[in-house]
Structure 1
């Protein structure tokens, strides 16, 4: 696949100030089940942080919450993926086996409303020995999976054929690359990524802050695109999408493939304890 979404394309508002999610925290990441028309959203759950406790929300594509489940000791929820299997099973991919709040491995499981999963309930995969901060993303268009991770504290990506990965054959990755700079300012935090074909899309930025990131400046959020085969940064653009939101923290990026490929970006808003989320997208232009 060589189609690439131009990050300079104007963003379109899709979902606006939706929620609340099950927990009062911001969204961390999200992914789509396009077969069944569902949106899954991860957020830090009760006693999260260092413990790595997450809450997974299941929503319809209008942002209405349909259910939730808890993932104890899984990680921070920087990214996630949805796999639609040939037999109709929907698999949710997340990080797991948290140490210091971030996963040392990845796993997949089925959604079950109000269930509580621990690392003892799932099969932990550690495809990159010695790595930390493992975070998966699934591309059903190319049937690939990526795992962002850290080696020696430095972030990298590794990409596999999804069927091989499911079979636990990690011996022949399709790509293995250092993560290019996600922002022009190295101090700005990474806020998520999504794999789509031959490209990885990254999101970075912080919430509004009167001292360093005032609302009048329309925020410091940046989207970037990486070629998985060359490892090069293809494009990086600042986005002012949703600049009128209060708080406005960029959180999570995902691909929605129908009716046409869209790069979707999450934005948290609202007061602490009553957070909402909005999603903007950049369409594929041909």
Structure 2
């Protein structure tokens, strides 16, 4: 799964906005990039534990089939009802059609929903609210097959949702940048929406809002909590596609890697600056025996046993496509 919509890579970078910071600049190769100007963010992310990537964990979902035998792309947890929602795309498709498969936490199918013209399914945020489960996904596919906006809508088992359906709420941040390929996740530990997006060649960022603001559509610069530049991927990124991200408190976690081995998890401090990382490309061997193994999706699982950093893999056994999920549960 490639998510950037461009074959070009460069090393341009930008700075980081937090309390009291209205202008940020970066220096690359001795030359300052153009200043990025915005309203001051109103908070920084409070301190929190950091997941230990080489720590103990588990494998609650192993080679489970999903609806229609389409390819798993991402997943998210309903931590209230203890359900998982997987997004799937059809191999080779660029029309943006997706399936949502609802399962229990063991990966057993409970329901499904069709999304027409939404995108590639790079990430999904799951929000139980007001007696319904709302899903946040990329929306309004482009010619590349990736979504150009973020939509919020209720999950309805058996429904077919067109991209122009009035039940879809536009929840795309408007913070001054041209937001390319926006991808949402929810941090259930802080009730925050985080959006990863591109602003140009090899310039990727994460911006965070309170879930209350995001739900109400208050997604402007004035309501932004933090905004963080992500590591430039360069040529390495061509061979190791971006496959998903999650956030828990102060830290974001990125999943990357091709079909086959290896796969990588990178830890980013949301309160840090520039393109720095905490853990750079930790190689995980989880699921290495899976045929056609490809990393697909990350999420935070607030399990009865404690918080877990979950990450998934798609596999293919003679045309039968399966989903597997692993997690890390220890903290540094």
TM-score over 0.5 (shorter chain):
yes
Give the C-alpha shift of residue 271 in structure 1: 2.9
Give the C-alpha shift of residue 48 in structure 1: 6.9
C-alpha separation in 2, matches of 1:166 and 1:113:
22
Give the C-alpha shift of residue 102 in structure 1: 1.3
Match of 1:135 among 169, 180, 183: 183
Tell me which residue corresponds to 2:160.
Answer: 116
Tell me which residue corresponds to 1:98.
Answer: 141
Bigger Cα Rg? 2
Question: Is 2:109 the counterpart of 1:65?
Answer: yes
Gaps of 5+ in 2: 1-46
Deviations 1:34-80 (A, max 9, x none): 111111000014x8732111110001112111111111111111111
**Alpha carbons of 1:203 and 1:184: their partners in 2 closer, same or farther (altered >3 Å)?**
farther
Question: Is 2:219 the counterpart of 1:174?
Answer: no
**Alpha carbons of 1:131 and 1:234: their partners in 2 closer, same or farther (altered >3 Å)?**
same
Gaps of 5+ in 1: 209-218
Tell me which residue corresponds to 2:320.
Answer: 274
**Alpha carbons of 1:2 and 1:184: their partners in 2 closer, same or farther (altered >3 Å)?**
farther
TM-score, scaled to structure 2:
0.77
Question: Is 2:292 the counterpart of 1:247?
Answer: yes
Question: Is 2:64 the counterpart of 1:15?
Answer: no
Question: Is 2:211 the counterpart of 1:159?
Answer: no
Superposition map of 1:195-274 within 5 A: 195-208=247-260, 219-231=261-273, 232-236=276-280, 237-258=282-303, 259-271=305-317, 273-274=319-320
**Alpha carbons of 1:158 and 1:22: their partners in 2 closer, same or farther (altered >3 Å)?**
same
**Alpha carbons of 1:184 and 1:199: their partners in 2 closer, same or farther (altered >3 Å)?**
farther
Tell me which residue corresponds to 2:12.
Answer: none
C-alpha separation in 2, matches of 1:62 and 1:135:
25
Give the C-alpha shift of residue 11 in structure 1: 4.3
Give the C-alpha shift of residue 193 in structure 1: 0.6
Give the C-alpha shift of residue 183 in structure 1: 9.6
| 8 Å CA contact retained: 1:84, 1:90 | yes
Tell me which residue corresponds to 1:3.
Answer: 49
Tell me which residue corresponds to 1:211.
Answer: none
Tell me which residue corresponds to 1:192.
Answer: 244
**Alpha carbons of 1:243 and 1:183: their partners in 2 closer, same or farther (altered >3 Å)?**
farther
**Matched residue count:** 273
143-152 or 3-12: bigger deviation = 3-12
Q: CA RMSD in A?
A: 2.0
C-alpha separation in 1, matches of 2:224 and 2:85:
27
| 8 Å CA contact retained: 1:82, 1:93 | yes
